[in-house]
Amino acid sequence: MNRSQQVDALFFPFLQIPSGHHHVADALIAEYKQVYPTKSVEKIDILAYGYGNIEKLVSSIYLKWITHFPNLYDRLYSQLAYKQPLKRTRQRHYELIFRSVVKKLMKEAQPEMIFFTHALPSNIVSVLKQEGIVTATTVNVYTDFFINCLWGINGIDYHFVPSIAMKDVLIRLGVKEKNIFITGIPIHPALSKNDFVAEEKRRIKLLISGGSLGTGGIQHLLSSVHLSRLEHVYVLCGKNHELYNQLISANCANITPLTYISSKKQINHLYEQVDAVVTKPGGVTISESLMKGKPIFVCDALPGQERINLQELTRLCLVQQLDKRKSFEQQIFDFFVNIDRQQQFHQHLDAYFHVMDKESITSIIKRISQHTIDNRSREIN
């Protein structure tokens, strides 16, 4: 891939799987374009950029690994990326693969700002920034509820974090407090905030989401034994065409299967139709549900990141973990007939949002961009 002109802002997820890294990058692009509608932006996967179709092979191997060997992946991820969150070492094997690729991209694009929604490109660019090869303003935007060891820290100018606990970790790593913003995991501005209202419900509409890949034990959850009493169930099947076709063939009156939805306005409307969300603990779906004020029930977690997310979300009392040995349906009803439990969730939800920066992401982007412009003007003068 070659580029003949400068790009003002680059956004870095990793791999081309439609993951939360991409959703957050898209949300940031929408926020950035609100501030700078005429500036150029581009979302880049450095693996596909540098190595073409190898990205598809890597994505396929990754998906098969977490599907067929989840416990092995979970142990390796915890050991290599999470066990010692304050320990930072150079990832020279990744630098060997990606350093020349990123240098080439920087020379072509010459960006003013770079946003990272995945740790690996953050790591590579942070090294180049410290060496003076990259001069752009760099921003880490964390898409999980913890900070893995791969994220670049030195050489990163600003950090958007979901929680105060993550801010504390960054401060312990030497980041200045003024350069950290508690924004939550950014979601698209098309999703409007709603307040949670505690009330007893006897008829419940439910949204079940397995993420963009339609994973997370949905088939078991959707057995007629579990969901026969619910008023209606919307199922986001994502790219799981087999699941979608199974639900269409079953033709259950109270279940509506939905394929992958790219429109955030449609997603916003869907959230407003339901009383609660059943999902796996991926950062984006969780953050969207919290923004919409919807109680969240977690039925499963992918190995690695999601299992760690679940630990942190449980600590914050922001999710209800479903017991697979009991009726899912009854557990959901038990929550909605218990006003005390609902009010406790509301209190924890308020506490989560209370510590966030009152400044919008759009305003923060504008401020740090202007700060960069001012600094460069002073350097020239």
Mean pLDDT of the 163-192 span: 95
Longest dimension (CA), the chain: 73
Contact between residue 289 and residue 267 where contact means Cβ atoms under 8 Å apart = no
Checking if the pLDDT of 191 tops 70, the result is yes
pLDDT at 241: 84
What string of DSSP letters covers 240-257?
-HHHHHHHHHHT-TTEEE
pLDDT at 74: 79
Pairing of strands 41-43, 9-12: parallel
Predicted confidence (pLDDT) per residue in 274-327, tens digit: 999 999 898 899 999 999 999 999 988 888 889 999 999 999 999 999 988 888
pLDDT at 216: 54
Distances (CA, A) of 41 to 32, 110, 113, 166, 198: 9, 12, 10, 28, 42
Predicted confidence (pLDDT) per residue in 148-174, tens digit: 999 999 999 999 999 999 999 999 999
pLDDT band at 226 (very low <50, low <70, confident <90, very high): low
Mean pLDDT of the 213-233 span: 70
Lowest mean pLDDT among 15-24, 131-140, 355-364: 15-24
Contact between residue 371 and residue 142 where contact means Cβ atoms under 8 Å apart = no
Q: Quote the pTM value.
A: 0.90
pLDDT band at 78 (very low <50, low <70, confident <90, very high): confident
Q: Which of 379, 271, 365 is nearest to 28 (CA)?
A: 365
> Using CA atoms, how far apart are residues 303 and 104, in angstroms rounded to an integer?
34
Mean pLDDT of the 208-217 span: 67
Checking if the pLDDT of 210 tops 60, the result is yes
- The token pair at 84 is 């010692």
Residues 6+ apart with CB under 8 A from 251: none
What string of DSSP letters covers 113-131?
EEEESSHHHHHHHHHHHHT
pLDDT at 215: 59
Structural domains of the chain sorted by starting position, each given as residue range(s) with its CATH number in brackets: 9-184+357-380 (3.40.50), 205-354 (3.40.50.2000)
pLDDT at 76: 81
Mean pLDDT of the 86-98 span: 85
Contact between residue 299 and residue 328 where contact means Cβ atoms under 8 Å apart = yes
Average predicted confidence (pLDDT) for the chain = 88
State whether the Cα torsion 262-268-271-272 is positive or negative: negative
- The token pair at 191 is 């999703």
Single-letter code of the amino acid located at 372: T
pLDDT at 225: 57
Checking if the pLDDT of 26 tops 70, the result is yes
pLDDT band at 1 (very low <50, low <70, confident <90, very high): very low
Mean pLDDT of the 93-119 span: 94
Mean pLDDT of the 105-134 span: 95
Among 29-38, 56-65, 78-87, top mean pLDDT goes to 29-38
Residues 6+ apart with CB under 8 A from 178: none
pLDDT at 105: 95
Contact between residue 22 and residue 12 where contact means Cβ atoms under 8 Å apart = no
Cα dihedral: 329, 19, 79, 167 (round 10): -90
